[in-house]
Amino acid sequence: MRNVYVLGTGMVKFGRYPEKTVPELGGEAALIALKDAGIAIKDVEMFASGNLYQSNAMVGQRILQQIGQTGIPVINVANACATGSTAFREAFMAVASGMYDVTMAVGVEQMGKQGLLGGAGGGDPAYATEGKLGSGLMPAVFGQAGIEHMRKYGTKLEHFAKISVKSHKHATKNPFSQYRNEVSLEDVMNARMVAYPNTLYMCCPTGDGAAAAILCSEEKLKQFAGGRKRPKVAASVLTSDPYTDRDLTLPDVSTLTRRASKKAYEIAGVGAKDMALTELHDCFATAELVHYENLGLCGDGGAGEFIDKKGGMHPSLGGFSPVNVSGGLLSKGHPLGATGVANICEVVWHLTQDDRAKDRQVPNAKAGQAHVIGLGSACTIHVLTI
């Protein structure tokens, strides 16, 4: 396997764009990434497109109709919330294998004010939890994960609320975030309950967005980068759940992340302590808390203490092991197909001291990771180093 580098990135501000189409949003992010990389579409040899809600509509080809059709192979990817990051991994594998030297991944989604998401598997009774306990809707699924952590370790509602406060504070420094408003602990605790313990401010918003990344071989890096710092993709891991006796009332949101994390650290030759920043899949505050432990940022049962000591908070705010300095999904938004690539963009910007992250720059960032899960199941972890 060859070394692979992120040559350029592009992202549009997450929000709502009813006047634009999915290909237009994806094309906008792609053009920004091409300019950042200093190349033209004719230099790209393979294109991977991640989109969930139009997954049967040849979104990748339609994006190229916006930015230039050169006859290259196009892969359209749908993999739940890990859709965009899986497209990135396809672009990575294409270069790492030696088949191509320059590839592009775009993640894009247009969700508007779409309602709460249902559970995995559609109406398949093997997956559906509706009628057994609670609900198959995502706020309830991740609410159950939070309650189980409370039961096992004595975690308090305040711990989940502190995550929301932290993420909203981070978002004030991110112009790409859908929401940039601070909230107090009382705001979060007293907000409308969606699915206990997740109140409104502990749930990510829906919306529209697009992000793009261009990957290249070491040889092409020397040709195109012009001496600019560009991060190496030190590990790219994709997992799904192994077989277990299913618990239909308590979906497992942790095992696939733990397996992916262990493998990613081994491949990259680093550990959790080496991560200058982590962009993880905080679809709900309860999810962020359990992933602190799943990614090894603290020990099992230690997430509450980690939070109380300002773990996950930006160093400028007195924190350590910063998590979701972008504002995370809780503030930035979660247009499903775009999220995975957007998380990678954020890590890249900190490693390269890009102006797009200057107001929230994590100092001395040499390694970072981007994590996404999709129930059903898929988990990607990408470790990047400089």
Assess whether pLDDT exceeds 70 at residue 134: no
150: amino acid identity, one letter: M
Strand order in the sheet with 4-11: 74-77, 46-50, 102-110, 208-217, 4-11, 232-239, 378-385, 367-374, 277-279
Quick one: which of 96, 87, 95 has its CA closest to 210? Answer: 87
What's the first-to-final CA gap in the chain, in angstroms?
18
12-21, 239-248, 269-278, 376-385 — which is least confidently predicted? 239-248
Q: Active site includes 81?
A: yes
Which entry of 159, 170, 334, 382 is annotated as an active-site residue? 334
Question: pLDDT band at 114, cuts 50/70/90?
Answer: confident
Residue boundaries of the structural domains of the chain: 4-114+204-385
Residue 120: its pLDDT value, please? 46
For the record, the structure tokens of 262 come out as: 């262990």
Classify residue 300 as exposed, middle or buried by CB count within 10 Å of its CB (0-12, 13-18, 19+).
exposed
Tens of pLDDT, residue by residue over 62-113, are 999 999 999 999 999 999 999 999 999 999 999 999 999 999 999 999 998 7
Of 239, 326, 314, 328, nearest to 276 (Cα)?
Answer: 314
CA 82, CA 380: separation in Å to the nearest integer?
7
List the structure tokens of 302.
């230690």
Share of the chain above pLDDT 70, in %: 95
**Taking CA 238 as the corner, what is the angle to CA 128 and CA 283, rounded to the nearest 5 degrees?**
55
Distance CA 11, CA 211 (A): 4
* pLDDT tens-digit series, residues 149-163: 999 999 999 999 999
Record the tokens describing residue 289, joined without a space: 């808390």
pTM of the model: 0.95
372 close to 382: Cβ distance less than 8 angstroms: no
Pick the CATH number of 4-114+204-385 from 3.40.47.10, 3.30.56.10, 3.30.420.40, 1.10.10.10: 3.40.47.10
Out of 81, 203, 216, 298, which one is annotated catalytic? 81
Is the model's pLDDT at 298 over the cut of 50?
Answer: yes
Residue 382: the pLDDT is: 98
334 among known catalytic residues: yes
CA 249 remoteness from chain centre: 26
